[in-house]
Structure 1
């Protein structure tokens, strides 16, 4: 092997190691799929990549949520039949298939789109995990290219890593779904405990998540806010039921009992591994931006951002919901009140995001 070939080979190995490490760096399914399609093009220096998963019930290949290098029009193409397709040979043989010109191959299902997108050559490899084919990984070049055996080998190795990453991410997604369902049940129990607040937790979740997304928060923060919203009032189970359900105005002593619920809720969360990370968001969702809230009188940026978002969502939901001692506020009045207390009770940045999304709320 001459010096130039050695350098190229080392570059390939280095690129492969980097992208493989990147693909396995997250367990969020959408992020994994996005990294796979983007990284596959790096590995074999191609222009576009798609992932398709086998739908055994319909004998079709469903397009994954992530596509790299192609327009949204491709995603709208939907599933393709496996029978008599290039993928059929890839899946049955568990081996790569290279096509020099997709426009001249009758097995290719979207020739019109390929022509429009200037797609020429295709290399398709199986996604295999635990000896089961999950689907196919396709890379395209926009010029005619004879994919080499080395290209096939490198992409097959990458696809093996990708398939494992996908299976791990799917397992995590199942656990997250089970976790979320548990939190929904806990939230529903709390809402049932206080019969004045039917579906309160669910609505707070919807509002808080919309605000957080408008603020472009990272995926992990979005999940924490979503999860905390469902159980932000879980501490009410530690308050006397007669106080929770009292239709009249509370006495000073009863109010002192009520305002303990964020602290009680945080203590409950601290005792459960599953929801411990949510404890600060639960504890501080009744703090005020001016420092006059409870339980700790935190001020402005010292209040966790998730709690500041929950404060706006919680207040808006409470104002627009019917209560035994008052009628529900109109949407317009509730918005006016939120704006009025921006910088006083609420974080102005959160209020700004709220105002941008409030029209989406029912």
Structure 2
């Protein structure tokens, strides 16, 4: 109802109150005239009674009109306090047909919208926390950056309600963006060719560092087979890393501003993760190259051990396949075989190159090579799984080995395999202090030591591969 014509309008109520209260002095003035003109005392008293009666009626009417308006205002104040206190159940004022009722309805509408926004913010906060929690878990796993990026795309796609997303990283050599990871709900993910930085939608986002929201025909003209696209640059410390994008919003034609705000937060964290990973990979690669060079240097020190690492690695792989190790386990065996004598770089040359049998003191020094090798490898995260192999490859089934005197199943499996392969190669290789055994004699020696010095199952598996 139009408030200008409503009988319940506060303006009308206050107008009536003013009129009623204004009547009082008029009644008094008229009464005085009649009282003065009255011929008798009784007539004057009667006129005074009539005047007082109407003044009383006018005052009471004005009081109730003003009281109603004041109650409405007081009710609105209480309603506001209740809403601020968290109680939004009050609906009495919403039915008022006046300015306060209209104001209450506006206020109620704003409150409901704020509640929706607060819930959306809380939901977004939980989503971001969940994403960052998953990112933290993935970042500490050994599965690598690709698994981390796929997890990010899967999480943010779910949060934004899109069908999928992709990450393209900058390749400095070709000055182009190349796909790193694609996540899609569909069985067949979209195919994306490399894009020159600065060309097309994706290339311009990378070059200029500005996010875009696009839907419709513009995507098809760019050769992108999507209904809608949200693309954000990945950058860290003034370095352009690449782009991250979501495609095909499921609940609308285009992505929303809220999607963009959420996506930019995730993109900034993703850029930091990628940058740190790339930096760590560069450092780790340099360290790993150094470690491998040291391992080759150790072998080069001893003219009698030429080819030892290659042969031991082959034997280890043969055993690993025979007992059914998976790809990851085989890789650990292969790398462990090449690095197992790394610690000998820390052994004195006069001990390492001695052509006669070692004294007890020299032998104790030689035994340190397992621990030295582990110490060199520890700083390299990608070599962490090899540390136990290098440290324990001289342990023996009966506990007579070193450095920890481990027995039986307490010795890591990969170290037990390496021990058999290492000893077999030593038996068939000539040394200044001994002649080389034949392969048959070496096999017989291993049979004697199976279940005593070596894991019988590993020995049997190895002999079957010869």
Q: TM-score, normalised by structure 1?
A: 0.71
Aligned-pair Cα RMSD in Å: 4.8
Residue 91 of structure 1 aligns with which residue? 206
Distance 1:127 1:43, change over 3 A: farther
Q: What is the distance in 1 between the residues matched to 2:221 and 2:461?
A: 51
Distance 1:52 1:272, change over 3 A: closer
Deviation at 1:223, TM superposition (A): 7.4
Contact 1:281 1:307 in 2 (8 A): yes
Q: Is residue 139 of structure 2 the alignment partner of residue 16 of structure 1?
A: no
Q: 1:69-84 to 2 correspondence within 5 Å?
A: 69=184, 78-82=193-197, 84=199
Aligned residue number for residue 125 of structure 1:
232
Q: Which whole-Å deviations, capped at 9, do the CAs of 1:278-320 have from their partners, x for residues lacking one? A: 775434212223435445542123224453353255356657x
Bigger Rg, which one: 2
Gaps of 5+ in 2: 1-112
Q: Secondary structure, in 3 states, of the residue corresponding to 1:50?
A: strand
Pairing partner for 1:37 from 146, 153, 165: 153
1:234 aligns with 2:339: no
Specify which structure has the higher proportion of helix: 2
Contact 1:98 1:147 in 2 (8 A): yes
Cα contact 2:291–2:377 (8 A) shared by 1: no
The one of the two structures with greater contact order (alpha-carbon pairs below 8 A, sep at least 6) is 1
In the TM superposition, residue 148 of structure 1 has moved relative to its aligned partner by 0.2
Distance 2:460 2:205 in 1: 52
Partner residue of 1:261? 366
- The 5 A counterparts of 1:1-362 are 1-25=113-137, 26=139, 28-64=144-180, 66-69=181-184, 78-82=193-197, 84-101=199-216, 105-109=220-224, 111=225, 120-141=227-248, 143=250, 145-201=253-309, 204=312, 211=320, 214-215=325-326, 226=335, 229-235=338-344, 238=347, 241=350, 244=353, 246=355, 257=362, 261-266=366-371, 274=379, 281-312=389-420, 314-315=422-423, 323=430, 325-326=435-436, 329=439, 345-347=453-455
* Structure 2 CA distance for aligned equivalents of residues 350 and 122 of structure 1: 56
Deviations 1:7-63 (A, max 9, x none): 232111111122124324526434433333333323323232211112244232111
Q: Distance in 2 between matches of 1:293 and 1:188?
A: 25
Report the TM-score, using the length of structure 2 for normalisation: 0.57
Instruction: Say if 1:124 and 1:138, in contact at 8 Å, map to a contact too.
Output: yes
What number of residue pairs does the alignment pair up?
A: 340
Name the SS of the counterpart of 2:368 in structure 1.
Answer: helix
In structure 1, how many angstroms separate the alpha carbons of the residues matched to 2:268 and 2:461? Answer: 42
* Contact 2:298-2:341 within 8 A present in 1 as well: no
Q: 1:91 to 1:236 in 2, by over 3 A?
A: closer
Deviation by residue 1:242-298 (Cα, 9 ceiling, x = unmatched):
77464xxx65x5699557533344157559974897775434212223435445542
List alignment gaps of at least 5 residues for structure 1: 112-118
Per the TM alignment, residue 158 of structure 1 is displaced from its structure 2 partner at its CA by 0.6
